[in-house]
Structure 1
């Protein structure tokens, strides 16, 4: 039973790229179903004794403690939100993927073999090809299958980001652990995903990929410097998030701004609006996920009249800024500390092992600085899968220190 359940769990994880093509918010569902399968595998092995021990070990790490404190702060902050029930629902969506990831890591049954990595590489390639074909044919496949009614290309930015995020740890592991065939497959994954990203409407995906490539190349020349620069840029962005909009408005040359796509120009205005809102409640914030309905918050009515019109957009299109708006300086400081601690864990690794994880961190952070809402479950789910892939030992090895 343990082996069968583990096989089902691995299959569900490998299916996520295709699931996100079919339904662009489905990653949390597949991740949670996989977690149930791995939990059955862990319970079948020894009644869950080792699984509970691994869970305690994982939860006692400093990084896990920081993230748990942030989660508790986010939960407490819903008590002063103007819409606490909405905050609680989003808190559940935010917490479900990391909880599922914890179950998978603690089960002891997730150990990506080369066969699993090859299957995942193939599903990433297939999902990328399907998406690219959809973009070329104005969604001919979706129209034929009647998958959904929304067929605007920007709606599939989530699906386009999924192959990019999952491709990086797949390439990382195939290249390090495989032979000639696996390295060729890793190269094919990188080529196909790159074509998809630049053929999509997701400017965030393009930015993330470029940042990853630049960071990876720079890391080869100066690993310590790039790791330090990544940490400094991350900390500065988290600390100054409320000021990003006003700074860009004041410092960006008029000629350059006139060349921006209208949606990008509006985004600067959105950052200004939510940055001003953050400074009205800088310490505690408005409550978890309050940004979604900030136009109905009495305090936010103090925002200057021209900017108040942009409050109904739902979120600031920037995770650091949304962290400030929803959880204030306290929440931003906790997440900044967690991010720096994660980077610090990469410092003792040999440069060959730390290079791609560092570039991945930089690229993913670049994406969330300019893109979607901070707490969306689909995004946290694919990051959780990527983290599992980066940290899990190969084959049947069970190195808990690596996992933690």
Structure 2
């Protein structure tokens, strides 16, 4: 038992260090999450023996688990027609281990975190936010001192991680009685996001806070309807997003969003949408976006459309699912999202609002951000879900002593 507690303590420290690790090295979270998951896995194995495997496998027999497994099976099956199987495998080798680690962490860590974990994790996020704000105010001098790139966008991944993690972690801290700390955590995270140049992070922050507030104030069915409609439209309209924006987006908005390359993003969406129309049924194959100008569906496109495919991703994860996995992949993704909402619907009102806020923030970011299969993104989502589930778990006795 003492060995298991030691492993849990080490895993909790690793989990708490995700935000500062990302602030220092913006691709580091997958390694940190894998380490944390391994520590908790070893602890549960020492404590439960073979029961640890049953703990991990039990949710996979439910509706959400079956939908997720079906989606992942379709991803693997698409290797059969991927024109670049080595690229598909390389993408999976980054995404797959992080996904497994994130799932194990979210499944095993809640209920086993030491009592001091919430304030430690809050302090770590505070340090990460202060580091980002200070670096930006100092003209990226700390990055030059550390021998790192001093471009402002190096903090995009860290602040996107902060967006996802802050709400669930504040909920956990609040649930353990540290109310002022929870409020300060949210305010400081918002300050770091606003200080950064990441429009996606600001968009996620606004969407998450607005949805959490609405879900807290309105009956559950309205919150579920709002999020479900938003997710459904984002997925269904993804192949024609570029055409819709090209026709109806006012020039004044493009002018205001010039720093976000909005015109280029619309052109990219039109190009990938045209490729989806050329092969809507099965897609080009998992992980092929990096070489999309060379896939069969792109060969008949006009030269100006093929040129925009060379960016390597459609800047929209919903559209990426369509382009790589076709209509069946989109249907399976829709099933995962809707069944997740059904599972969230049974939560008590406060965690229900936090969960919907997390989903709204993640969806808003996924609508405009980089590739769907990036390991750092998967690690951030896994960390956020772990904190949310920890807030739902019964606290250790010493937490309330």
For 1:139, the equivalent position in structure 2 comes to: 140
Deviates more, 1:353-362 or 1:318-327: 353-362
1:6-42 Cα deviation digits (max 9, x unpaired): 1111111111111111111111111111121112212
1:12 to 7, 10, 14: 14
Give how far 1:165 is off: 1.3
- Once residues 386 and 92 of structure 2 are traced to their aligned partners in structure 1, the CA distance between those partners, rounded to angstroms, is 22
Q: CA RMSD in A?
A: 1.7
* 5+ residue gaps, structure 2: none
SS in 1 for 2:86: helix
Give how far 1:372 is off: 1.4
Q: Is the 8 A contact 1:112 1:394 kept in 2?
A: no
Give how far 1:216 is off: 2.2
2:213 to 214, 217, 225: 217
Give how far 1:266 is off: 0.9
State how 1:3-402 maps to structure 2 within 5 Å: 3-46=5-48, 48-105=49-106, 107=108, 111-146=112-147, 148=148, 150-175=149-174, 177-179=175-177, 182-223=178-219, 224-261=221-258, 263-392=261-390, 393-396=393-396
Give how far 1:110 is off: 5.5
Q: Is the 8 A contact 1:104 1:110 kept in 2?
A: no
SS in 1 for 2:87: helix
Q: Is the 8 A contact 2:102 2:382 kept in 1?
A: yes
* 5+ residue gaps, structure 1: 398-404
1:170-221 Cα deviation digits (max 9, x unpaired): 111222x222xx1111111111100011110110000011111221222233
Give how far 1:352 is off: 2.7
- Once residues 346 and 287 of structure 1 are traced to their aligned partners in structure 2, the CA distance between those partners, rounded to angstroms, is 31
- Once residues 102 and 297 of structure 2 are traced to their aligned partners in structure 1, the CA distance between those partners, rounded to angstroms, is 37
SS in 2 for 1:266: helix
SS in 1 for 2:373: coil
- Once residues 215 and 370 of structure 1 are traced to their aligned partners in structure 2, the CA distance between those partners, rounded to angstroms, is 18
- Once residues 234 and 107 of structure 1 are traced to their aligned partners in structure 2, the CA distance between those partners, rounded to angstroms, is 28
TM-score, structure 1 length as denominator? 0.92
SS in 2 for 1:310: helix
- Once residues 387 and 166 of structure 1 are traced to their aligned partners in structure 2, the CA distance between those partners, rounded to angstroms, is 8
TM-score, structure 2 length as denominator? 0.93
- Once residues 34 and 220 of structure 1 are traced to their aligned partners in structure 2, the CA distance between those partners, rounded to angstroms, is 32
1:211-239 Cα deviation digits (max 9, x unpaired): 11221222233232122111011011111
1:354-394 Cα deviation digits (max 9, x unpaired): 11211211111011101111110000111011112212314
For 1:402, the equivalent position in structure 2 comes to: none
Change over 3 Å in CA distance of 1:219–1:126 after alignment to 2: same
- Once residues 138 and 257 of structure 1 are traced to their aligned partners in structure 2, the CA distance between those partners, rounded to angstroms, is 28
SS in 2 for 1:302: coil
Change over 3 Å in CA distance of 1:106–1:154 after alignment to 2: closer
- Once residues 310 and 39 of structure 1 are traced to their aligned partners in structure 2, the CA distance between those partners, rounded to angstroms, is 44
Change over 3 Å in CA distance of 1:220–1:83 after alignment to 2: same
- Once residues 276 and 292 of structure 2 are traced to their aligned partners in structure 1, the CA distance between those partners, rounded to angstroms, is 11
Change over 3 Å in CA distance of 1:185–1:40 after alignment to 2: same
Change over 3 Å in CA distance of 1:107–1:193 after alignment to 2: closer
- Once residues 39 and 349 of structure 1 are traced to their aligned partners in structure 2, the CA distance between those partners, rounded to angstroms, is 26
Q: Is the 8 A contact 1:42 1:109 kept in 2?
A: no
Q: Is the 8 A contact 1:38 1:109 kept in 2?
A: no
- Once residues 144 and 154 of structure 1 are traced to their aligned partners in structure 2, the CA distance between those partners, rounded to angstroms, is 17
